[in-house]
Amino acid sequence: MKYKINFNLNNEEIEHYIDPNRTLLNMIREDFDLTGAKEGCGAGECGACTVLLDGKPVNACLVLAIEVEGKDILTVEGLSPGNKLDELQISFIENAALQCGYCTPGMVMTAKALLKENNNPTEEEVKEALSGNLCRCTGYKKIIKAVMDIVEKGKH
Protein backbone atom coordinates (compact mmCIF):
# COMPACT_ATOMS: atom_id res chain seq x y z
CA MET A 1 0.00 0.00 0.00
CA LYS A 2 1.27 3.43 -0.92
CA TYR A 3 1.42 6.25 1.59
CA LYS A 4 0.88 9.91 0.84
CA ILE A 5 3.75 12.17 1.80
CA ASN A 6 4.37 15.89 1.43
CA PHE A 7 7.82 17.41 1.29
CA ASN A 8 9.84 20.15 -0.28
CA LEU A 9 12.21 18.97 -2.98
CA ASN A 10 14.71 21.49 -4.32
CA ASN A 11 12.38 24.35 -3.39
CA GLU A 12 9.30 22.75 -4.83
CA GLU A 13 6.35 21.54 -2.72
CA ILE A 14 5.64 17.92 -3.57
CA GLU A 15 2.76 15.58 -2.80
CA HIS A 16 3.74 12.02 -3.52
CA TYR A 17 2.53 8.45 -2.99
CA ILE A 18 5.14 5.90 -2.03
CA ASP A 19 5.54 2.32 -0.85
CA PRO A 20 6.81 2.26 2.74
CA ASN A 21 9.80 0.07 1.97
CA ARG A 22 11.40 2.43 -0.53
CA THR A 23 14.39 4.57 0.32
CA LEU A 24 14.73 8.28 -0.20
CA LEU A 25 17.53 7.56 -2.69
CA ASN A 26 15.35 5.22 -4.69
CA MET A 27 12.53 7.74 -4.70
CA ILE A 28 14.51 10.74 -5.89
CA ARG A 29 16.33 8.72 -8.54
CA GLU A 30 13.44 6.66 -9.87
CA ASP A 31 10.41 8.91 -9.36
CA PHE A 32 11.98 12.33 -9.89
CA ASP A 33 14.93 11.42 -12.13
CA LEU A 34 17.31 13.25 -9.82
CA THR A 35 20.24 10.95 -10.48
CA GLY A 36 23.00 13.18 -9.12
CA ALA A 37 22.87 11.20 -5.89
CA LYS A 38 24.39 7.78 -6.59
CA GLU A 39 24.18 4.41 -4.95
CA GLY A 40 27.75 3.34 -4.24
CA CYS A 41 27.13 0.76 -1.55
CA GLY A 42 23.52 0.89 -0.37
CA ALA A 43 24.74 0.68 3.20
CA GLY A 44 25.60 4.22 4.22
CA GLU A 45 29.33 3.62 3.94
CA CYS A 46 30.40 5.64 0.90
CA GLY A 47 28.45 8.89 0.95
CA ALA A 48 27.82 8.96 -2.81
CA CYS A 49 24.09 9.34 -2.15
CA THR A 50 24.40 12.33 0.19
CA VAL A 51 21.56 14.85 0.06
CA LEU A 52 20.56 17.51 2.55
CA LEU A 53 17.54 16.82 4.72
CA ASP A 54 16.51 20.00 6.50
CA GLY A 55 20.01 21.25 5.80
CA LYS A 56 21.79 18.22 7.30
CA PRO A 57 23.69 15.76 5.13
CA VAL A 58 22.20 12.27 5.10
CA ASN A 59 22.91 9.06 3.26
CA ALA A 60 19.75 8.88 1.18
CA CYS A 61 20.19 5.11 0.85
CA LEU A 62 19.56 4.74 4.59
CA VAL A 63 16.54 7.04 4.86
CA LEU A 64 13.09 5.66 4.15
CA ALA A 65 11.15 7.86 1.78
CA ILE A 66 8.18 8.06 4.14
CA GLU A 67 10.46 9.64 6.77
CA VAL A 68 10.77 12.85 4.73
CA GLU A 69 7.20 13.88 5.41
CA GLY A 70 7.19 17.63 6.02
CA LYS A 71 10.91 17.99 5.42
CA ASP A 72 13.10 19.93 3.00
CA ILE A 73 15.28 17.94 0.65
CA LEU A 74 18.10 19.54 -1.28
CA THR A 75 19.88 17.46 -3.91
CA VAL A 76 22.84 18.47 -6.03
CA GLU A 77 20.42 19.40 -8.80
CA GLY A 78 18.86 21.97 -6.49
CA LEU A 79 22.21 23.51 -5.71
CA SER A 80 22.63 25.08 -9.12
CA PRO A 81 19.22 26.06 -10.41
CA GLY A 82 19.07 27.49 -13.89
CA ASN A 83 22.63 26.52 -14.84
CA LYS A 84 24.12 28.91 -12.29
CA LEU A 85 26.84 27.02 -10.51
CA ASP A 86 27.26 27.29 -6.77
CA GLU A 87 30.60 28.77 -5.72
CA LEU A 88 31.56 25.40 -4.27
CA GLN A 89 30.94 23.69 -7.60
CA ILE A 90 33.10 26.29 -9.33
CA SER A 91 35.80 25.74 -6.76
CA PHE A 92 35.70 21.98 -7.36
CA ILE A 93 36.26 22.55 -11.09
CA GLU A 94 38.99 25.14 -10.65
CA ASN A 95 40.86 23.02 -8.13
CA ALA A 96 40.50 19.82 -10.20
CA ALA A 97 38.81 18.33 -7.14
CA LEU A 98 36.98 15.72 -9.19
CA GLN A 99 37.99 12.95 -11.52
CA CYS A 100 35.45 10.27 -12.44
CA GLY A 101 32.76 12.42 -10.86
CA TYR A 102 30.79 9.63 -9.24
CA CYS A 103 31.40 10.73 -5.66
CA THR A 104 31.34 14.42 -6.58
CA PRO A 105 27.65 15.26 -6.01
CA GLY A 106 27.79 13.64 -2.57
CA MET A 107 31.07 15.35 -1.80
CA VAL A 108 29.72 18.74 -2.85
CA MET A 109 26.55 18.33 -0.79
CA THR A 110 28.40 17.27 2.36
CA ALA A 111 30.78 20.20 1.98
CA LYS A 112 27.85 22.54 1.37
CA ALA A 113 26.19 21.39 4.59
CA LEU A 114 29.41 22.02 6.51
CA LEU A 115 29.81 25.51 5.12
CA LYS A 116 26.20 26.35 5.91
CA GLU A 117 26.78 25.28 9.50
CA ASN A 118 30.25 26.75 9.87
CA ASN A 119 31.54 29.27 7.38
CA ASN A 120 35.03 29.23 8.81
CA PRO A 121 36.05 25.61 9.31
CA THR A 122 39.64 24.55 9.75
CA GLU A 123 41.20 22.01 7.40
CA GLU A 124 40.78 19.39 10.12
CA GLU A 125 37.09 20.19 10.44
CA VAL A 126 36.67 19.87 6.67
CA LYS A 127 38.38 16.48 6.75
CA GLU A 128 36.20 15.35 9.60
CA ALA A 129 32.98 16.52 7.97
CA LEU A 130 33.86 14.79 4.70
CA SER A 131 35.30 11.62 6.20
CA GLY A 132 32.11 9.66 5.43
CA ASN A 133 32.45 10.37 1.72
CA LEU A 134 34.69 8.00 -0.19
CA CYS A 135 36.60 8.98 -3.30
CA ARG A 136 38.80 6.48 -5.12
CA CYS A 137 40.32 8.84 -7.70
CA THR A 138 41.60 12.07 -6.22
CA GLY A 139 43.47 11.20 -3.06
CA TYR A 140 41.29 13.89 -1.40
CA LYS A 141 43.87 16.69 -1.36
CA LYS A 142 42.26 18.81 -4.03
CA ILE A 143 38.80 18.34 -2.53
CA ILE A 144 40.02 19.88 0.71
CA LYS A 145 41.65 22.66 -1.26
CA ALA A 146 38.38 23.31 -3.11
CA VAL A 147 36.51 23.71 0.17
CA MET A 148 39.24 25.71 1.90
CA ASP A 149 39.39 28.11 -1.05
CA ILE A 150 35.77 29.02 -0.39
CA VAL A 151 36.56 29.50 3.29
CA GLU A 152 39.50 31.75 2.41
CA LYS A 153 37.43 33.77 -0.02
CA GLY A 154 34.74 34.22 2.62
CA LYS A 155 37.29 35.92 4.89
CA HIS A 156 37.90 38.75 2.45
Partner 1 sequence: MEFVGKSVNRVDGIKKVTGSLKYVDDIKMHGMLYAAVKRSIYPHAKIINIDITKAKKLKGVVDIVIGKDFPKRVGLYLEDKTFLAVDKVRYRGEGVAAVVAKTEELAHKAVDLIEVEYEELPAVTSGVEGLKEDAPLVHPDLDKYKWAPIFFPKEGTNISNHYKLRKGNIDKGFENADIVIENDFYIPHVQHVPIENHSAIAKMDAEGFLTVWASCQSPFAVRQALSVAFDIPLNKLRVISPAVGGGFGGKAGTTLEGIVIPLAMRTNGKPVKLTYSREDEFVNSFVRQGLHARIKTGAKKDGKIVAVKNEFIWDGGAYTEYGVNIAKAAGYASTGPYDIENVHSDSICVYTNHPVGGPFRGFGMCEIHFAIEQNMDIVADKLNIDKVKIRKINGLKPGGVTATGEQLDVCGLQECLDEVVKDIEYYKKEESNEPNKVRAKGIAFGFKAPSMPNNVASSAIIKINEDGTLHLLTSAQDIGQGSDTVLTQIASEILSIPPEKITIKTGDTDHTPYEWQTVASRITYCAGNAIKLACEDAKNQLLELAQIKLGIYKRDLELKDGNIVSKIYPDKKVSISELSLGLSMPDGSGIHGPIIGRGSFIPPNIRDADKLTGLGDKPVAFWTFGCQGVEIEVDIETGKIKVLNVASCFDVGKVINPKLIEGQVEGAIVQGLGTALFEELILKDGKVLNPNFVDYKIPTFDDMPKMIIKFVENAEETGPFGARGIGEPSMVPAAPAIANAVYNALGIRINSLPITSEKILKALKK
Adjacent-strand bridge partners of 6: 15
The vertex-58 CA angle with 126 and 50, nearest 5°, equals 75
* 54/94 with CB nearer partner 1: 94
* 36/71 with CB nearer partner 1: 36
* 34/150 with CB nearer partner 1: 34
139 binds partner 1 (CB under 8 A): yes
148 binds partner 1 (CB under 8 A): no
Q: List, in sequence order, the alpha helices (H) in 1-156.
A: 24-26, 76-79, 87-94, 104-117, 123-130, 141-155
Q: Please identify which residue in 54, 69, 87, 94 interacts with partner 1, judged by CB under 8 A.
A: 94
- As a whole number of angstroms, the distance between CA 39 and CA 24 comes to 11
Q: Which stretch, 1-9, 33-41, 63-71, 114-122, contacts partner 1 (CB under 8 A)? A: 33-41
Helix axes of 87-94 and 104-117: crossing angle, nearest 10 degrees: 130
98 binds partner 1 (CB under 8 A): yes
* DSSP letter, residue 32: T
| Residues in contact with partner 1 by the rule CB under 8 A | 29-30, 33-43, 45-46, 48, 75-77, 79-80, 85, 89, 92-105, 108, 127-128, 130-144
